[in-house]
Amino acid sequence: MATNSVPRVRVPAQAKAGDMIEIKTLISHEMESGQRKDSAGKTIPRQIINKFTAVFNGKTVFEADWHPAISANPYQSFFFKAKESGEFKFTWKDDNGSDYTATAKLTVA
Amino acid sequence: MLAPRLALADVKAVEDEIKKLYGDKKIDSGKIKLDVPQIAENGLVVPITVEVESPMTDADFVKAVHVFADGNPLPGIASFRFSPECGKANASARMRLAQTQNIVCVAEMSNGALFSAKAEVKVTIGGCGG
């Protein structure tokens, strides 16, 4: 399940130094809460993405820990103050040990 | 599907989670803008935005905001961890709410000060269980 999680990120390609930019991210994932039961009455085991991390030029700038109360296909947005050009790397950690990653370049004029 | 055996979190469960993080430290009100809908038609996808007042400099920034709910099977929703690089302490996500309940968030500043805010969301169709 959810082995084909596809991340999508929206980062402005360009910004001026000092600009506050909003980073928007979305990833396809069931976020199985561990609270549901199947038709036979057995609890469906939890499998969620439990951590989102945003790194810019090697430095962690934002993280989110997610609990089962986060909706399916989790959305996360946050802000970043543009100073220098570089690259974001986003990582989503699945309960099953997989990591999903995405990158985005930012050019600061 | 209804799950009557499901123990729902309550006000005490949220208080216990906060105690686990911060013990008996004093928590002030203010500084936090908690933006959730007053009424959510669909408890499966309820938007939440938190913003905390802060200059977000290396010396004075918001370290984390923890979000809890007192009417879900489990009290935790999310923890957002900021850095001065964020420029402002603002994060949005979408959450599941099983029923009408209070959202409680606690912000931890870089100097250790704590702030909290609370808001009720009325849920028409719950978003947990089958």
ipTM: 0.95
- Domain extents in chain B: 11-125
Helices and strands, number each (H, E), in chain B: 1, 9
Asked if B63 reaches chain A (Cβ–Cβ under 8 Å), the answer is no
Alpha-carbon span A32 to A9, nearest angstrom = 22
Question: Residue A102 is part of a domain; what is its CATH number?
Answer: 2.60.40.10
Query: From the list A70, A74, A81, which residue is nearest B86 (CB)?
Result: A81
Is A44 a member of any domain? yes
Alpha-carbon span B96 to A79, nearest angstrom = 23
Query: From the list A36, A64, A79, which residue is nearest B78 (CB)?
Result: A64
- Digit-coded pLDDT (tens) for A30-61: 999 999 999 999 999 999 999 999 999 999 99
Is A2 a member of any domain? no
CATH topology of domain B11-125: Immunoglobulin-like (2.60.40)
| Mutate: best of A21, A22, A70, A91, partner B, most B CBs <10 A | A70
Ordered per-residue pLDDT tens for chain A, 109 residues: 545 799 999 999 999 999 999 999 999 999 999 999 999 999 999 999 999 999 999 999 999 999 999 999 999 999 999 999 999 999 999 999 999 999 999 999 8
Rg, chain B, Cα only: 15
What is the extent of the structural domain holding A18?
7-108
Nearest CA in chain B to A62: B82
